[in-house]
Amino acid sequence: MNPLSPDAQRRFAVDVVRTLRQAGHETYWAGGCVRDRLLGRTPADFDVATGATPDEVRRVFGHRRTLAIGAAFGVITVLGPPGAGPVEVATFRQDATYSDGRHPDHVTFSSAREDALRRDFTINGLFFDPLTDEVIDFVEGQADLAAGVIRAIGRPELRFEEDRLRMLRAVRFAATFGFELEEQTEAAIRQMAVGVTAVSAERIAGEIERMLALPARAQAVRLLLKTGLAEAVLPEIVDADVPTRPSRPSSLEVLDRIEEPTFALALAVLLGETAGPEAMAGVCCRWRLPNKVLERAVWLVGHRHALRDAMTCRWSALQPLLVSPGIGELLQWVEAEAAVAGQPAPEVDHCRTLLMQPAEKLDPPPLITGDDLVRHGLVPGPLFRRLLDEVRTAQLDSKIETSEEALTLVDRLCAEWDEGLGAGG
Ligand code: ATP
Ligand code: MG
């Protein structure tokens, strides 16, 4: 894959508009890219809206340079030169009824004005003509951009009833841009928040994941709490903004302090204070998150206090934590917690120093394996794990250094355990 160049992307998005315009079709940039440009942000991608039908778009650019995956919704993907990425070209449309509160039942091609009116928020309903530098504004989106307001286009209750995901999008956009929710838009969300669960778990999780990745993630969570959306989608965090004890920071303050938390870490921080690993696993299952995210989040919650004795505990106790794949996130968490509480975190520095050791010191290969035990004449069974663990502990604590010493330890342990068994039975 070619890395995208914002410049090449923009130039290609201008070309697409010019080409369609020359073929006689009214065509603009639309939606997020217009909003981002007006805010002085670099758009992640460019969407184009046009009066041309999907067939006409394909004819203009040729079948080889286009994909018709979204054609049923009037969207044709036009492939760009290297570094430019694709541009989605959507025919101006009107969305018909949403009988399931999620997907339009069918779409009708229509005018630019109607295409603006079907969009979710005024700041997302703008068109831009890159050939004349003109903004085409049917929804008073420019005023709301200037005022910093997220306002539903049309009657908010109706728009949220059509598609309940929009309630979460409203919160995400408000946090992303540091905007306010317009009064009636916010009132409608509060009133309809419980209904957000009609949206698929994957899409809810996707929105929450994006919110928790924002620099203003704490703001996003506060808005979720304030609007009642949190209670509907993540009731486990209703107390995230409240310190468990007066002198302690809230989990939200801690979350805010972490730079670029992974989704697993963000969830762990939000839930860790009030809920345990089971609740964490419950959330991950509810949202059908990948196993990797579930495992990491559960591990983090389960080990949130595990570094407390890092300065004093034996190496065999600390080492397995340090070589765990989640250690980086765990350190970020502990560090943020200390920082918010205004306390030093010597255990974090200690671990970071230890982690700089070369791999063969940090995680030396085991002195013996199960195969060695078999060759030593032992029969595989549940005892193997215990023996190997004991040997590993002795190795890490420098009590033994060679495989011969390891096998001697094995013999001694077997004798002891036999005796123990004999004495007990
Ligand atoms: P970003 O991609 O940065 O999240 P965006 O505005 O580009 O923001 P997309 O989800 O990519 O958001 O959608 C592109 C445009 O399509 C939006 O700007 C909006 O006009 C419209 N849109 C997207 N989702 C909806 C929706 N659920 N209801 C109504 N309009 C929508
Ligand atoms: Mg987008």
CATH says 148-233 is which class? mainly alpha
93 in contact with ligand 1, CB cutoff 6 A: no
88 in contact with ligand 1, CB cutoff 6 A: no
Domain ranges of the chain: 1-147, 148-233, 235-364, 365-419
166 in contact with ligand 1, CB cutoff 6 A: yes
Q: What is the 3 state secondary structure string of the chain? A: CCCCCHHHHHHHHHHHHHHHHHCCCCEEEECHHHHHHHCCCCCCCCEEEECCCHHHHHHHHCHHHEECCCHHHCEEEECCCCCCCCEEEEECEEECCCCCCCCCCCEEECCHHHHHHCCCEHHHCCEEECCCCEEECCCCHHHHHHHCEECECCCHHHHHHHCCHHHHHHHHHHHHHCCEECHHHHHHHHHHHHHHHHCCHHHHHHHHHHHHCCCCHHHHHHHHHHHCHHHHHCHHHCCCCCCCCCCCCCHHHHHHHCCCCCHHHHHHHHHHCCCCHHHHHHHHHHCCCCHHHHHHHHHHHHCCCCCCCCCCCCHHHHHHHHCCCCHHHHHHHHHHHHHHHCCCCHHHHHHHHHHCCCHHHHCCCCCCCHHHHHHCCCCCCCHHHHHHHHHHHHHHCCCCCCHHHHHHHHHHHHHHHHHHHHHHC
Residue nearest atom 7 of ligand 1, based on CA coordinates = 32
122 alpha carbon to ligand 1 midpoint, in Å? Answer: 11
Residue 265 and residue 333 in contact, taking contact as beta carbons nearer than 8 Å: yes
Chosen CATH of 1-147 out of 2.60.40.1530, 2.40.30.160, 3.30.460.10, 1.10.3720.10: 3.30.460.10
**Spatial separation of the C-alpha atoms in residues 75 and 89, rounded to whole Å:** 6
**Spatial separation of the C-alpha atoms in residues 344 and 153, rounded to whole Å:** 49
pLDDT in tens, the chain (425 residues): 678 899 999 999 999 999 999 999 999 999 999 999 999 999 999 999 999 999 999 999 999 999 999 888 899 999 999 999 899 999 999 976 665 555 666 778 999 999 999 999 999 999 999 999 999 999 999 999 999 999 999 999 999 999 999 999 999 999 999 999 999 999 999 999 999 999 999 999 999 999 999 999 999 999 999 999 999 999 988 887 877 776 677 899 999 999 999 999 999 999 987 788 899 999 999 999 999 999 999 999 999 999 999 999 999 999 999 999 999 999 999 999 999 999 999 999 999 999 999 999 999 999 999 999 999 999 998 889 999 999 999 999 999 999 999 999 999 999 998 887 766 54
**Spatial separation of the C-alpha atoms in residues 314 and 328, rounded to whole Å:** 20
Report the pLDDT value the prediction gives residue 425, as an integer from 0 to 100: 42
379 alpha carbon to ligand 1 midpoint, in Å? Answer: 62
388 alpha carbon to ligand 2 midpoint, in Å? Answer: 52
Q: Identical fold at 1-147 and 148-233?
A: no
32 alpha carbon to ligand 1 midpoint, in Å? Answer: 6
Report the pLDDT value the prediction gives residue 377, as an integer from 0 to 100: 93
Report the pLDDT value the prediction gives residue 367, as an integer from 0 to 100: 96
Residue nearest atom 10 of ligand 1, based on CA coordinates = 32
Report the pLDDT value the prediction gives residue 102, as an integer from 0 to 100: 54
Residue 54 and residue 67 in contact, taking contact as beta carbons nearer than 8 Å: no
